[in-house]
Amino acid sequence: RKMNSDTPLSMCSQCQSFKPPLSHHCRICNRCVSRMDHHCPWMNNCVGAGNLKHFILFLIYTWLCNCMALSLLAWNYFFCVSEQCTFTTLLIQLSRITSILSTGSLLFTSSMIMNVTYGVMTGIGTIDRLKKKALDTMLLSEEEPILLKEIFGIAGYHTWFFPIDPVFENYDRVMGFSTTQRLLREQMKEKESGSGASSGSVSPYGNGSGTGGSYYDDASAYNV
């Protein structure tokens, strides 16, 4: 979502502090989470801006493991003709249980992957999407797609598939600015950049990403 200086800054009634844009308060975690999607019981944590990469990798790893388990069961059960592939009654029952669990997990992770993909493409998280559908305001959404570098970082494509923390180009912007002062500062920079471009002058703040590129101080309080 593009920052608008006319938009009032919201406060969290639970934390009694500034609420970053697109964030929500989680009653289970008892804190506000930047760009919160939902609270995941499988990860025992909220899914937000700081750990969306880990959640996506968790779904992909689980999906691949289910596919491998079903493939091995199918190969050994239907295509193996050697004497070592004889299935006893116990093995048959275990194979059936494993097949049911793997199939259910495969369908569930597939639906979650599609849900996350839709959220990335539209920029609307699960909680916001449910609220907008309830109020019938989906067509009025102003959210923008989430850039892949704001999920997997800028460390390189080879780090995307490893469960390591991403390095963001602009930590403040990804986390939604943790204080009102930092948000107001960024809004003023965008205003000055816009006025400088219209008058032919160059803003002293560059492209609005900060004087030194990124900020790495107290914004980590909203990392999930």
Question: Would you say residue 57 has pLDDT above 50?
Answer: yes
Q: Rounded mean pLDDT of 123-128? A: 90
Look up the pTM and report it.
0.74
pLDDT in tens, 165-203: 999 888 888 887 766 666 677 777 777 776 665 544 433
Average confidence score pLDDT of the chain: 79
pLDDT in tens, 65-86: 999 999 988 887 777 767 777 7
pLDDT in tens, 82-119: 777 777 888 888 888 989 999 999 999 999 999 999 99
Q: Rounded mean pLDDT of 32-40? A: 91
One DSSP character per residue, the chain reads: ----TTSPPPB-TTT-SB--TT-EEETTTTEEETT--EEETTTTEEE-TTTHHHHHHHHHHHHHHHHHHHHHHHIIIII--SGGG---HHHHHHHHHHHHHHHHHHHHHHHHHHHHHHHHHH---HHHHHHHHHHT-GGG----PPPTHHHH-SS-GGGTTSSS----S-HHHHHT-SSHHHHHHHHHHHHHHHHHHHHT---TTTTSS-SSS---SGGGGG--
Q: Which residues are catalytic?
A: 40
What is the reported pLDDT for 62? 95
